[in-house]
Amino acid sequence: MPGHMEIILIIFIILLLFGAKKLPELSRSLGKSLGEFKKGQKEGTEPDQEEGVEKLERQEDVEKLDVVSPEEPETKK
What is the CATH T-level fold of the domain 1-43, as seen in this structure?
Answer: 1.20.5
Quote the CA–CA distance of 55 and 50 in Å, as a whole number.
Answer: 9
What pLDDT, on the 0 to 100 scale, is given for residue 4?
92
pTM (two decimals): 0.42
pLDDT band at 5; cut points 50, 70, 90: very high
Quote the CA–CA distance of 19 and 25 in Å, as a whole number.
Answer: 11
Quote the CA–CA distance of 20 and 55 in Å, as a whole number.
Answer: 53
Count of alpha carbons within 13 angstroms of residue 67, beta-carbon side: 4
Helical H segments across 1-77, by residue range: 4-18, 23-45, 49-64
What pLDDT, on the 0 to 100 scale, is given for residue 56?
66
Q: pLDDT tens digit string along 19-72?
A: 888 888 888 998 999 999 998 888 776 665 556 667 767 776 666 665 566 676
What pLDDT, on the 0 to 100 scale, is given for residue 14?
87
